Structure 1
Amino acid sequence: MAKHRNSKSKNFGFGNQAEYATKVALKVHYGDGHYQTVQAHIERSRLFYNWLNEEHEIRDIRKVTTSLFSEYALYLKMLLDEEDISIATATNRISSVNVVMQIMREDQKIRIDKIHAALGERRCYIRRSIPEGMDISQVHNLHQQLIANCFNRSAAIVLLARSTGMRLRECILADLPRLTKESANNRINIQDGCKGGRSGAFAPRWIPVTDEILFALEYARKVSPEGSRNLLALNESYVSFLRHEVNPSRSIMKLHGVKGPHELRAAFACDRYKDLVGTAAPVFPRQENPDRAVVRAARQIISRELGHERPEVTNSYIGSETK
């Protein structure tokens, strides 16, 4: 196959479908060995092809350019910033595209060498600045500004992120009718769109219901597309929603003092710390030293409510107890 392929034909002659062509090229390159490596590269590159098709309607690997690959890296960085994926996942996705491009093109012209630099090398870190959006009135003003600019569903995301601490993806994919029904029992269980497949009965993530949550759910259901249980229309993909709704609304968020939903998630965590401990989160100036046992228990609760397994991760939301 490798000796007789026509590099000037679609997908460099490996096949008409990008995913199939990649599979053929990798098997030729690895000589039918390294099965797990081949499967990992196929799966990760498939996600890249899905993005190419969704964003640019490109189905031919020959049309991949350095600028397109860099744009994909920025897309992954956005997912990373909103905690939709981990730094390891983002790095592996770019690395696999590097490998596939080199094998199929037989050169290294389309490549990202400094992957961590492209992704911003984030996490884990200790938060040292007070989260944006701590003032609820500021959040409600942002909500109104987004509505005024016809970003109704982004306005719903802002309310959901601030009141529940959900990630961006979780806000978008939240089962709104289910959450509304659960709220009657004064708590809701975050289950949809969770990172790392953490959902179902073995990964409960219960959040106590507040008036802000009830308001957020009511508004989100109001702007949810007809026939949908979440913020996506029935014929709309997650990537398309990010492209046409979320990303354009970010400039308005920044204009009103909120970089994005992740800051509102941190603001939620700081509020929960104060509820549970009785004092401000350590990222705020404070004089008192709360009881260590109370702090430890509170961090475990906050970590679970944010969808993390390790309490120390809360440092990136509320700051560290040791300055």
Structure 2
Amino acid sequence: MSKINGSRDTRNYGFGRKLHYSMKNCLRTHFGDGHYATVQAHSERCRLFCDWLLTTHQIADPRRINQEIFYAYAAHVRALLENGDISVSTATNRISSVNVVMKILRGDTNVHISKIGKVLGEKRCHIRTKAPQGLLFEQLDPLIEELINTNLHRVAAIIMLARTAGMRLREAILADLPRLKREALTLGEINIQDGCKGGRSGAFAPRWIPATDIVLSAIEFAISASPPGSRNLLSPTESYVEFLRGTVNAARNIVKGHGLQRFHDLRAAYACSRYQALTGIPAPVCVSDDESSILPRSCNREARQIVSRELGHERLEVTNAYLGKKS
């Protein structure tokens, strides 16, 4: 890993003079030009850690952070959790981000908390307990209409692609739209491979989605919203980060105003919709315990595996988080 200046023996391990800046700088160096959202998320969580270090221990140099101090911070986060000030997910993420940053700064894992759930006294539950927003397409119509009327056609296209094809935000933005339309018309399926998480490539990790009429309509709308000279939702002179910071961020208040807290919830809606199409019964998260139907285990598992592949996950338990408890 390259450094900006100095060595590991210099203040803030050579990543800058101010504590939080050095942590953000090491993240940028480690992840390079990409992973903007990841860098931003870790950075914001580490800002809280820095504030605690300065206030509680008067520490302004991460070289002074040892395992005892890290455990003290974990105890502070646990107190916030027990008081109901933060959720278990937030508490877990705060400690996880410090793990990441300290490993990058130090080059080792000597200051690290491996069993976060044990330290917090509560494990994060990954299983969804409420039906996702946007499960019914009609719920999204007012949102899409307002985005179009606000000249945010490209964000409306993201909403449609995410809901109809289970795309992540990055995948919807970077999708090769002409290729997807060609595949939909000639094959009846589309292969999601652009902008996939973890560097997946369609040539090596095919992810085929049934190209229903509504999927084709979403692709055609995205093509109409695509800037001239582009094959995706970015203009030829625009970077992914610029589009996120500008156009997407400008639309977030509108999106939340219609009850959709995150674009990612649309993937959960897609997962639930596909599960019902494959099994004939609603996903467990969409019904109460009294209303849920019991599928033969083999049928239930097969449906979940199909949904998992279509979402681009290797682990079945990740998809279970979208669908709810096992039926």
Range of TM-score over shorter length: 0.5 to 0.7
8 Å CA contact retained: 2:191, 2:202: no
- Of residues 256, 259, 283, the one that matches 2:258 is 256
The residue that corresponds to 2:28 in the other structure is 45
2:316 aligned with 1:311? yes
Structure 1 residues 87, 26: CA separation in 2 closer, same or farther (over 3 Å shift)? same
Deviations 1:259-281 (CA, angstroms, capped at 9, x unpaired)? 12111110000000001111000
TM-score (norm 1): 0.68
Structure 1 residue 167 displacement after superposition: 0.4
Deviations 1:29-76 (A, max 9, x none): 9x9xxxxxxxxx99843267858xx99xxxxxxxxxxxx9538979xx
- Listed one character per residue, the Cα deviations across residues 224-247 of structure 1 (whole Å, up to 9, x for unaligned) are 111111111111111111110112
Mapped contact 2:192–2:202 kept (Cα < 8 A) = no
Corresponding residue for residue 307 of structure 2: 302
How far apart are the structure 2 equivalents of 1:48 and 1:290?
Answer: 44
Asked if the contact 2:26/2:105 (under 8 Å) is kept, the reply is: no
1: CA distance, partners of 2:100 / 2:177:
31
Contact 2:152/2:247 (CA < 8 Å) preserved in 1? Answer: yes
Q: Give the Cα–Cα distance (whole angstroms) in 2 for the partners of residues 20 and 169 of structure 1.
A: 29
User: How far apart are residue 98 of structure 1 and its match?
Assistant: 5.6
1:279-314 superposed Cα distances (whole Å, 9 cap, x missing partner)? 000102233211111110011110010010011211
Identical amino acids, percent of aligned pairs: 47
Preserved contact between residue 172 and residue 231 of structure 1 (Cα < 8 Å) = yes
In the alignment, structure 1 residue 70 sits paired with structure 2 residue 52: no
For 1:182, the equivalent position in structure 2 comes to: 183
- Aligned counterpart for 1:270 among listed residues 269, 272, 276: 272
What's the counterpart of residue 230 of structure 2? 228
* TM-score of the aligned structures, taking structure 2 as reference length: 0.67
Tell me the secondary structure at the aligned position of residue 268 of structure 1: helix
**Aligned-partner Cα distance in 1 for 2:132–2:193:** 25
Partner Cα distance (1:241, 1:71) in 2: 23
User: Is the 8 Å Cα contact of residues 160 and 213 (structure 1) preserved in structure 2?
Assistant: yes
Question: Displacement, 1:122?
Answer: 10
TM-superposed CA distance for 1:315, in Å, is 1.8
Question: Corresponding residue for 1:202?
Answer: 204
| Distance in 1 (alpha carbons) for counterparts of 2:98 and 2:218 | 34
SS of equivalent residue, structure 2 residue 260:
coil
Work out the CA distance in 2 between the residues paired with 1:71 and 1:28.
24
Residue type at the aligned position of 2:170? R
- Identify the residue that residue 125 of structure 1 maps to in structure 2: 126
Q: Which residue of 2 aligns with 1:145?
A: 146
Deviation at 1:202, TM superposition (A): 2.0
Instruction: Give the superposition deviation at 1:87.
Output: 10
Q: Verify the 8 A CA contact 1:48 1:72 in the aligned structure 2.
A: no
Q: Tell me by how many angstroms 1:141 deviates.
A: 2.0
Q: How far does residue 25 in structure 1 lie from its aligned partner after superposition?
A: 3.2
**Are 2:293 and 1:288 aligned?**
yes
Which amino acid counterpart does residue 317 of structure 1 have in structure 2? Y
TM-superposed CA distance for 1:148, in Å, is 1.2
* Contact map agreement 2:162 2:168 (CA 8 A) in 1: yes
Compute the displacement of 1:253 (Å).
1.0
Distance 1:283 1:255 in 2: 24
Q: Is the 8 A contact 1:73 1:94 kept in 2?
A: no
Instruction: Name the counterpart of 1:25.
Output: 7
Alpha-carbon displacement from aligned partner over 1:196-231 (angstroms, at most 9, x marks no partner): 111132201000011111111011111111111111
CA distance in 1, matches of 2:193, 2:246: 25
Q: How many residues get paired?
A: 251
What is the letter of the counterpart of residue 70 of structure 1?
Answer: E
